[in-house]
Amino acid sequence: MEYRTLGRTDLWVSLICLGTMTWGSQNSQAEAHAQLDYAIGQGVNFIDTAEMYPVTPVSRDTQGLTESYIGSWIAGRRNRDDIILATKVAGPARDPSRGIRTADRLDRRNIEQAIDDSLRRLQTDYIDLYQVHWPDRPVPSFGVRGLSALADRPDTVPIEETLDALADLVKAGKIRHVGVSNETPWGVSEYLRLARDQGLPRIASIQNAYNLLNRVFEIGLSEFALREDVGLLAYSPLAGGNLTGKYLGGVIAPGTRRDVARQFVRYDLPGQAPAAARYVAIAHAHGLDPAQLALAYVNSRPFVTATIIGATSLDQLRTDIDSVNLTLSADAIAAIEAVHRDLPDPCP
């Protein structure tokens, strides 16, 4: 396993980060524990979750189960200090029926409630990396392209208030470091400005989508990642499974991600299938597994700190983790870049 520094912290995290958002819906507690045991055995020390998980689908009946499964595993294995544990606080819910608290906001009261609930479920007294799952202000995210006008609400919580509340959690010892997710270049710059000007905690990472079908992180955020040491924690590196080739031809098998999480439509765009088919063909031409080709490309990017993988079976998990052992040839990279020039970011 390869390890990289998390931002400007003293933490070394595995290049492969174990994602968990199917645990509690598509995966049972026993299956979650089996995945954790296998991943740790392969050198993975970085685990990412969120208070709102699982999200396949989002449901108030299952919300929090993912953290609870991790918590029971930590309690049983007694290995808390051997892992780097990351979780997230949810921003405002687009659909109030899917909210977690009375009002999912990134103000002090909600953040304090969220961290205490997460600590209880995770059966730990500290979180290594506490991330803002998405901004409080309206921004283009989860597949929405561009911003033509500001739409801040009168009660939009300023980033300064959010970061000040997180600073107090650091002082209290409940969290060690902070990060952002689904954030924009302006938002990242504002977090960094507040840290610099007001002595507030400095963000250590940016968790955004990044894969062969969506490389928009390279346009505005990669320079921040490289110059400011706020590396990318790349989620959805397989584009919701589309880069494995299993959905080519339009077949959606029961129980797969696209079957159980139909609310996620960012990859249901006309350019997805043609681009995915070409990337899968590159893998086959080089004798590679399509999933490993897609993951190895993300692993190789200099602005990436960790690639977050998620699996519903141990076979998938083995394949994904083994991507760290694959170095793509110059010919394979050239073929990937040729597709990107022809079909750039079909699923932003």
Structure tokens belonging to residue 156: 């939009």
Taking CA atoms, 37 is separated from 30, 161, 321, in Å, by 11, 38, 13
Which single residue is written with the structure tokens 């990134």? 106
Query: Does 114 score more than 70 pLDDT?
Result: yes
Q: What share of the chain is helix, strand, coil (3-state, %, to 5)?
A: 40, 15, 45
Supply the CATH classification number for the domain 3-240+300-326. 3.20.20.100
Q: What is the pLDDT of residues 178-218, one digit of tens each?
A: 999 999 999 999 999 999 999 999 999 999 999 999 999 99
Whether the pLDDT of residue 76 is over 90: the answer is yes
- Residue 54, preceding bond cis, omega within 30 degrees? yes
102-113 per-position pLDDT tens digit: 678 999 999 999
pTM assigned to the model: 0.95
Distance CA 186, CA 238 (A): 27
C-alpha angle 82-320-58 in degrees, rounded to nearest 5? 80
Q: How far apart are CA 66 and CA 136, in angstroms?
A: 23
Q: Are 205 and 305 in contact (CB under 8 A)?
A: yes
Beta carbons of 306 and 233 less than 8 angstroms apart: yes
pLDDT tens across 265-318, in order? 788 888 999 999 999 999 999 999 999 999 999 999 999 999 999 999 999 999
Contact 229, 195 (CB under 8 A): no
Number of H helices, E strands in the chain: 12, 10
**Could you give the residue numbers annotated as active site?**
53
Inter-axis angle of helices 185-198 and 159-172, to 10 degrees? 60
Domain extents for the chain?
3-240+300-326
| Residue environment code for 180-216, b if the CB has 16+ CB neighbours within 10 A, otherwise e | bbbbbeebbebbbebbeeeebbbbbbbbbbbbbbbbb
